[in-house]
Homo-oligomer: A and B are copies of this chain.
Amino acid sequence: MESSHRNLTQQVVHELGKKILQGNYKIGERLPSEADLCQQFNISRTATREAVKMLTAKGLISSRPRQGITVVESKHWNLFDVDVLNWILLGKPDLYLLRHFLQLRLALEAEAAYLAALYASDDDLIAIASALARMKNATNGMDDTHEADIAYHQSVLSASNNPFFIQLKNFITTALKVNLRFTNRMIAVTVAEYQAHVDIYEHIKNKKPQAAFDAAMVTQRATLAIVNEQIAALEQEKQHKV
């Protein structure tokens, strides 16, 4: 068990969270009662209840006397919670999830670039530059592409100096992980992306918000277009099977 270092409550939170996000319990359905959960996990009511409370706090379930523990509507789920996001990833992410992630990333990252051009401090600029340096090394195999990519995107979000954008760094990082599962990128692709990011950085440094926004938007719409094509191809394939 990979989670043996965590305490009991957190392990149960993890197990139940995974099951809920993977659809083992349908919406509105009852989970096992506290007593049953105690038996299943062989733990005390204290630990069980604390786990239930944590999942409640994340908006996944609701517990009431006599009614038991039920899965609430998915619109109440805190999809931007790090744990919830990771539980989603433990399932089998499909192209539709990838598209949803990209759609939100597009919206966020373009405006983050815009705001960075307006509000980035000197330190923020240095952070972006050093992330870009790592990306360049990565194209030569001297650094990890994925790590460098994450560092770059996080540095731009930080430079927006908006706490809400900053909080979404978790989300973006997770979205990039999903990306990684679908795109086995060639070095060539990475170089092109690197150049695009350099351009955005220049706009940010030169305090040209609209230019930074547009550049980021173009890059992301292109990525999204590729995924949309893949989905279209997939759906056509399904049609043929039927």
Given A57-B53, A80-B167, A162 contacting B106 (CB threshold 8 A):
no
Bound Cα distance A103, B166 (Å):
12
- Count of chain A residues with Cβ under 8 Å from any Cβ of B? 39
Given the complex, which residues of B lie within 8 Å of A179, measured CB to CB? none
Given A111-B106, A111-B107, A169-B75, A100 contacting B162 (CB threshold 8 A):
yes
Bound Cα distance A160, B167 (Å):
22
Q: Which of A81, A112, A164 has the most CB of B within 10 A?
A: A164
Given A53-B9, A103-B162, A165-B104, A78 contacting B79 (CB threshold 8 A):
no
A87, chain B: closest CB distance, angstroms: 13
Answer whether residue A163 sits at the interface, using C-beta atoms and an 8 A cutoff. yes
Asked if A56 and B54 sit within 8 Å, CB to CB, the answer is yes
Bound Cα distance A165, B102 (Å):
12
Q: Which of A9, A74, A78, A82 has the most CB of B within 10 A?
A: A78
Q: Which residue of B lies closest to A171 (CB)?
A: B164
Query: For chain A residues 92-135, which have a beta carbon within 8 Å of chain B?
Result: 100-101, 103-104, 106-108, 110-112, 115
Answer whether residue A26 sits at the interface, using C-beta atoms and an 8 A cutoff. no
Partner of A167, one of B75, B101, B169: B75
Answer whether residue A194 sits at the interface, using C-beta atoms and an 8 A cutoff. no
Bound Cα distance A52, B55 (Å):
13
Partner of A50, one of B50, B77, B103: B50
A-B contact pairs, 24 of them (CB 8 A): A49-B50, A50-B53, A53-B53, A53-B54, A54-B54, A55-B57, A57-B57, A58-B58, A59-B81, A75-B169, A78-B78, A78-B81, A78-B167, A80-B164, A80-B167, A100-B164, A101-B164, A103-B160, A103-B162, A103-B165, A104-B162, A104-B164, A107-B111, A108-B108
Q: Spell out A's residues near B (CB within 8 Å).
A: 9, 13, 46, 49-50, 53-59, 74-75, 77-82, 100-101, 103-104, 106-108, 110-112, 115, 160, 162-167, 169
